[in-house]
Amino acid sequence: MCFATTPAPHRHPESPRQQGLNNMANAYTSWIIDAPVDQVWALVRDFNGLPNWNPGIVESVIEENVSSDVVGAVRSLKLANGASGRERLLALDDRRYQVMYNFELAPLPLDNYVGRIELKPLTDGTRTLAIWHSTYDERPDNQMSFQSVLESDVFAGGFRSMATKLAEEPTTGETNHCRQPSPGKVYVAEIIDAPLADVWPVLRALAGIGPWYADLQGTIQLTARPGQVGGQRKLGMDGDLVTETLTGLSDHDHRVCYSVRHDIATSLNYDATVELHPVTMNNTTLVTWTLDWPNADAPPDVVTHRAALKKAFALLKVQVGATNEPLS
């Protein structure tokens, strides 16, 4: 993999405030739910279903009698504290497990509020990372007044209640509306027992691919400065030449993208994305690693590539200091 080695600034999604003339702020909470992603998504997807899992909402009605999965639908809410509000569904994505909405009539004194809930399945298939993130403009008289309310009472309180509800329900099979994983993809997601601020510098600086692949041979030839998008390195593998290209790097989103091209075995040609997501419930980090063969004539060797990624995770954990187990 082609990772940069230059120092990286650390900007976190849970950062309490973004400085600016319009006093933009954000709130961020993420939670591990002990249930498969499809079971969690069935609750989150229902835009009229908040009272079923969030104790802060006691009543929800979709206006104009439209279906809850119609983008543009508006729900009228009654909160447990007696306040009321109206929210509009801005986006619904069954493939990415994402819901986005805004305040039409704000139940809190916030302006330009946009919220998003998204789910990330863990590789074991029985757990899900749920992320609730919102951005909004603070008014001069209430700056920093509502971040903790949103993060602790609304977001974390909702996720905690959802986890309890799902723990009491039998595990169900995959729901019909969720798309099957592409045969041209390999996806692995694991929790690293360390905060994102500790994981990102290590992930970003990893340049030694050797410990991950036993058949790696020859020297690595860099053709660009570390961190330069478009830069390449060439290495020998089984006597053939492999070229890795850094196609994307984001210190803001904690994401690395790279491509691998093999001179002979085109079945080894793939595009990869590595992303970090902070888990605020216990100050750990979810790492997702996706390999994609968009133009493959045949499905990739999933077992081999997943085993390689498992080795990559093991190395990452050792480098971060999140495990005492030696690499096998």
Question: Residue with structure tokens 């509306």?
Answer: 177
Give the chain's radius of gyration (CA, Å): 22
Mean per-residue pLDDT, 134-155: 86
* Co-location of 205 and 151 in the same domain: no
* Co-location of 264 and 195 in the same domain: yes
pLDDT at 209: 45
Are the CB atoms for 76 and 84 separated by under 8 Å?
yes
pLDDT at 112: 94
Between 203 and 38, the higher pLDDT residue: 38
d(CA 328, CA 325): 9
The domain of 154 spans 24-168
β-bridge partners, 286: 191, 277
Contacts of 171 (CB under 8 A, 6+ apart): 35, 36, 39, 126
- Of 168, 201, 222, the residue at which a domain comes to its end is 168
Residue 143 φ/ψ, nearest 5 degrees: -60, 135
Closest CA to 276 of 208, 190, 205: 190
* Co-location of 143 and 61 in the same domain: yes
Helix (H) or strand (E) holding 304: helix 302-320
Mean per-residue pLDDT, 296-317: 81
DSSP 110-163: -EEEEEEEEEEE-TTSS-EEEEEEEEEEPPGGGTTSSHHIIIIIIIIHHHHHHH
**Segment 243-282, tens digit of pLDDT:** 888 888 889 899 988 888 887 777 778 899 999 999 999 9
* Co-location of 190 and 152 in the same domain: no
- pLDDT interval class at 204 (50, 70, 90): confident
* Co-location of 113 and 159 in the same domain: yes
Q: Is 125 inside any structural domain?
A: yes
pLDDT at 328: 47
* Co-location of 209 and 112 in the same domain: no
Most confident of 2-16, 122-136, 162-176, 195-209: 122-136
d(CA 134, CA 106): 13
d(CA 23, CA 41): 33
Q: Is 14 inside any structural domain?
A: no
Question: Could you tell me the CATH number of the domain that includes residue 144?
Answer: 3.30.530.20
Q: Is 217 inside any structural domain?
A: yes
The domain tally of the chain equals: 2
* Co-location of 28 and 152 in the same domain: yes
* Co-location of 163 and 190 in the same domain: no
Q: Is 242 inside any structural domain?
A: yes
Q: Is 176 inside any structural domain?
A: no
* Co-location of 46 and 92 in the same domain: yes
* Co-location of 46 and 159 in the same domain: yes
Asked whether the predicted pLDDT for residue 308 surpasses 50, the reply is yes
pLDDT at 274: 93
pLDDT at 303: 84
**Segment 34-57, tens digit of pLDDT:** 999 999 999 999 999 999 999 999
Between 119 and 18, the higher pLDDT residue: 119
**Segment 98-115, tens digit of pLDDT:** 999 999 998 888 899 999
d(CA 69, CA 132): 19
d(CA 288, CA 275): 5
Mean pLDDT across the chain = 82
Q: Is 12 inside any structural domain?
A: no
pLDDT at 206: 60
* Co-location of 266 and 303 in the same domain: yes
Q: Is 179 inside any structural domain?
A: no
Mean per-residue pLDDT, 158-165: 96
Q: Is 8 inside any structural domain?
A: no
* Co-location of 135 and 245 in the same domain: no
CA distance to 107, 142, 164, per residue, from 32 (Å): 27, 31, 12
DSSP 202-270: HHHH----GGG-TTEEEEEEE-S-TT-TT-EEEEEETTEEEEEEEEEEETTTTEEEEEEEESS-GGG-E
Q: Of 16-25, 107-116, 130-139, 201-210, which gets the smallest average pLDDT?
A: 16-25
